[in-house]
Amino acid sequence: MMIRATALTKDYGTRRAIENLTFNARKGEILGFLGPNGAGKTTTMRILTGFMPPSSGSVEIGGYDVIENSLEVRRIVGYLPETVPLYSDMTVHEYLEYMGSLRKVPRLEQRINETIEKVELSDRASSYVGALSKGMRQRLGLAQALIHQPEVLILDEPTIGLDPGQVVNFRKLIREIGKDKTVLLSTHILPEAQQICDRVLIINNGHIVAEDTPEQLQARLTGSQRVLVQIRGDSKDVLPIVENIPGVIRAQVRNQDSIEFESLPGKDVRPEVARTLIQRGFDLLQMQNINLSLEEIFLKLTREEPAEITDSQA
Ligand SMILES: Nc1ncnc2c1ncn2[C@@H]1O[C@H](COP(=O)(O)OP(=O)(O)OP(=O)(O)O)[C@@H](O)[C@H]1O
């Protein structure tokens, strides 16, 4: 195992940010940390990079304890924090020279050239950092994380604030770099985790609530459908009818003239619902799939195994 985190807990004063997180990452794996804002992703990454100690628990990276062997850990870990401290009055080359010299990178000039080529900034080597686009700045952030050729790369919400084109490029770049590194990446965007990662940990409220491959995650999420139905009439009259249609697992009144229902995985009951309602004399005004929000996805994924609620969070 390249990363081994055991029973990590972090309290900020009386606020418990993460509790008892245990997870591993294999060598060469791209592991995703998926969770909404405030879930505890940044806290975990800061602990992993030795930026701050946990309140309890331990982390080993490449066999080194992040606190006891912090120098070794810094040598094998590259970190792209949520906001990278970049110096706008340095050029791209100067900035990497500076970051590389702090890390005492050997043959730095050659290394800078290799790195800017990898992140596709070679033609910007002499541009001032302040003049770069957001996407370029993020690639420069990645370059500083890669300058010392770390085996492990830790990326905190790396595509946040990029425009859609830049996001696509940046994800491709991470996959490319991840071919020969262990990568831990945090995101609050489900498709991002699915596109980039080999395995995804879902973190909510400081706890790991699910762990899966992107494929299995997808299967668990797209299995069932949620649909909004609007009719001319009273939704209270329609509810019992829809509830009784085979394949419908849950239905509820949305407002006066609409209800929503959820169907069994793998079964599209919409035609049956439409037919039944029309047969019963209702005018069907609208039928619309409802996308799951991230919060709902968490609930869904954790329905079978509810997240542990502890009373120690007060
Ligand atoms: N320095 C701090 N002092 C007090 N509370 C903090 C501190 N940093 C984080 N927290 C709290 O700990 C919890 C976890 O925060 P964390 O930043 O790790 O979450 P996150 O998943 O990275 O979210 P985000 O994407 O918003 O950064 C949040 O409730 C946050 O308010």
Same-domain pairing of 245 and 166: no
Contact 227, 292 (CB under 8 A): no
Distance 95 CA to ligand 1 centre (A): 29
Domain that holds residue 257: 223-298
Same-domain pairing of 228 and 207: no
State the closest ligand 1 atom to the C-alpha of 44, by its place in the atom list counted from 1. 18
Within a domain: 31: yes
Same-domain pairing of 28 and 146: yes
Same-domain pairing of 130 and 172: yes
Here the tokens at position 251 are 């239905």
Distance 236 CA to ligand 1 centre (A): 43
Output the CA–CA distances (angstroms, integers) from residue 105 to 98, 110, 268, 309, in the order listed. 10, 10, 58, 46
* Domain C-terminal end among 212, 243, 275: 212
Model ipTM value? 0.94
Same-domain pairing of 11 and 155: yes
C-alpha 267/C-alpha 168 separation (Å) is 33
Which residue ranges have their beta carbon within 6 Å of ligand 1? 12, 15, 17, 35, 37-43, 157
pTM confidence score = 0.77
Q: Is the dihedral of CA 203, 34, 158, 196 positive or negative?
A: positive
CATH code for position 141: 3.40.50.300
Within a domain: 313: no
Within a domain: 162: yes
Same-domain pairing of 62 and 19: yes
Q: Which residue do the tokens 């770390």 mark?
A: 150
Same-domain pairing of 289 and 154: no
* Domain C-terminal end among 212, 232, 263: 212
Q: HSE of 146 in the Cβ direction (CA atoms, 13 Å)? A: 24
Same-domain pairing of 228 and 208: no
C-alpha 31/C-alpha 45 separation (Å) is 12
Beta bridge partners of 30: 183
Q: Which residues 6+ apart lie within 8 Å of 58 measured at CB?
A: 5, 6, 7, 8, 65, 66, 67
Q: Which of 9, 10, 43 to mutate for ligand 1's pocket (most ligand atoms within 8 Å of CB)? A: 43
Within a domain: 306: no
Q: What is the pLDDT of residue 263?
A: 86
Q: Which residue do the tokens 């309290």 mark?
A: 11
- Kindly list the strands in the beta sheet with 283-289, ordered across the sheet, starting from the edge strand earlier in the chain: 248-255, 258-263, 226-232, 283-289
Same-domain pairing of 173 and 263: no
Same-domain pairing of 9 and 96: yes
CATH code for position 276: 3.30.70.100
Within a domain: 305: no
Same-domain pairing of 206 and 228: no
Going residue by residue through the chain (314 aa), what tens digit of pLDDT does each one get? 999 999 999 999 999 999 999 999 999 999 999 988 889 999 999 999 999 999 999 999 999 999 999 999 999 999 999 988 888 999 999 999 999 999 999 999 999 999 999 999 999 999 999 999 999 999 999 999 999 999 999 999 999 888 888 899 999 999 999 999 999 999 988 888 888 999 999 998 899 988 888 877 766 666 667 899 999 999 999 999 999 999 998 899 999 999 999 888 777 899 999 999 999 999 999 998 876 666 666 666 655 443 333 444 33
Same-domain pairing of 143 and 229: no
